[in-house]
């Protein structure tokens, strides 16, 4: 049975920066030594709404970057899309406001033991964890190519930063406002062939991850993806974020994406379940 990330802790964190970047907010928190244990793919769960709020459940946010250096002892950076009530409350806070954070949570991306050609694919603000991952891969001597996609140019996060941190950057937008018109999956086969990609890392909407997995499976490539499911607790208790996944013996089990993920082997996820328990799932009698 999987357990919560052994490095996880709860602490109050001061906001030291909150800047609007396009459609998103880039926020930096003084997190002390928590930052030293954060890895690309991990996330944090933040208490939102304040002490008088009816929003009793925490909100999960993927870690954009973490640093254990500097005057604050350690910092955690998040890219927040102010879509829901909780994220709007968070992005409305001022510098020096304090929030309660639990982290780091979840699994992280696996890093090759030897240099490899990696292709990183992100959709919208879901691409945030890939920037820190790109840095780690580059330090290991890997070739790193990145594809960022969104519905429009304003929803591509930090394209200039992406270009600086990888060997090549390709941008796609569904409306053609930037880069290549279309979806990320349309350019993947050509990029894989051009750069000799050996492993794909992806973050973004579940539909996009499923489409990427079709391509990786057809080409026999390893695909590590950070699944995007709503997490009500973030620590494996509530069971709201379960998805069907094959275990090492091939048995399908409803798996908690908060502690068994969010980073998973794309080949083991049952992508066509349509949010239902598939026939043959362990323990299912329907």
Spell out the domains of the chain, with CATH numbers in brackets.
9-105 (2.40.30.10), 117-273 (3.40.50.80)
pLDDT of residue 284: 67
**In this structure, what token pair is assigned to residue 61?**
């946010």
The runs of H, that is alpha helices, within the chain are 85-91, 128-139, 159-165, 184-195, 206-219
| Cβ contacts of 10 within 8 Å, gap of 6 or more | 100, 101, 102
pLDDT category at 278 given cuts 50, 70, 90 is confident
> Is residue 77 classed exposed, middle or buried when 0-12, 13-18 and 19+ CB atoms within 10 A define those classes?
buried
pLDDT digits (tens, 9 = 90+) for 183-204: 999 999 999 999 999 999 999 9
CA distance readout (Å), 139 to 39, 143, 173, 187: 14, 10, 30, 26
CA distance 45 to 98: 14
For the segment 203-229, what is each residue's pLDDT rounded down to a tens digit?
Answer: 999 999 999 999 999 999 999 999 988
The 10s digit of each residue's pLDDT in 40-99 is 999 999 999 887 777 888 999 999 999 988 777 899 999 998 888 999 999 999 999 999
Judged by DSSP in three states, 283 sits in coil
Q: Residue range 8-24: average pLDDT?
A: 93
Percent of the chain with pLDDT over 70: 96
**Angle 112-199-109 (CA atoms, 0-180°, nearest 5)?**
55
Per-residue pLDDT at 169 exceeds 70: yes
Neighbours of 10 (CB within 10 A): 11
Question: For 165-192, what is the mean pLDDT?
Answer: 93
Does 286 score more than 70 pLDDT? no
- Chain centroid offset of residue 79 CA: 10
Task: Write down the pTM of the prediction.
Answer: 0.92
Which distant-in-sequence residues (6+ apart) come within 8 Å of 189 by Cβ? 215, 219
């Amino acid at each position: 049975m999987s357990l919560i990330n052994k490095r996880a802790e709860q602490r109050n964190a001061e906001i030291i920066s909150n800047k609007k970047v396009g459609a998103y907010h880039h926020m930096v928190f003084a997190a002390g030594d928590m930052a030293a244990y954060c890895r690309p793919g991990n996330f944090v769960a933040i208490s939102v709404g304040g002490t008088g709020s009816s929003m009793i459940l925490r909100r999960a946010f993927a870690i954009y970057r973490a640093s254990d250096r500097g005057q604050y002892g350690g910092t955690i950076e998040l890219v927040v899309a102010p879509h829901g009530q909780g994220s709007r409350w968070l992005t409305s806070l001022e510098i020096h406001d304090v929030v309660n954070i639990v982290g780091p949570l979840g699994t992280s991306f696996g890093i090759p033991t030897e240099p490899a050609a990696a292709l990183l694919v992100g959709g919208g603000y879901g691409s945030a964890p890939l920037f820190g991952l790109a840095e780690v891969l580059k330090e290991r001597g890997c070739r790193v190519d990145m594809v960022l996609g969104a519905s429009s140019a304003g929803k591509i996060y930090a394209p200039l930063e992406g270009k600086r941190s990888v060997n090549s950057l390709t941008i796609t937008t569904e409306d053609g406002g930037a880069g290549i018109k279309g979806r990320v999956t349309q350019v993947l086969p050509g990029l894989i062939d051009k750069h000799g990609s050996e492993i794909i890392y992806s973050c973004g909407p579940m539909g996009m991850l499923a489409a990427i997995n079709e391509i990786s499976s057809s080409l026999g490539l390893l695909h590590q993806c950070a699944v995007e499911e709503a997490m009500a607790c973030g620590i494996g208790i509530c069971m709201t974020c379960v998805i069907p996944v094959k275990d090492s013996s091939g048995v399908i089990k409803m798996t908690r994406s908060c502690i068994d993920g969010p980073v998973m082997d794309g080949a083991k996820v049952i992508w066509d379940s349509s949010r239902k328990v598939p026939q043959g799932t362990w323990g299912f009698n329907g």
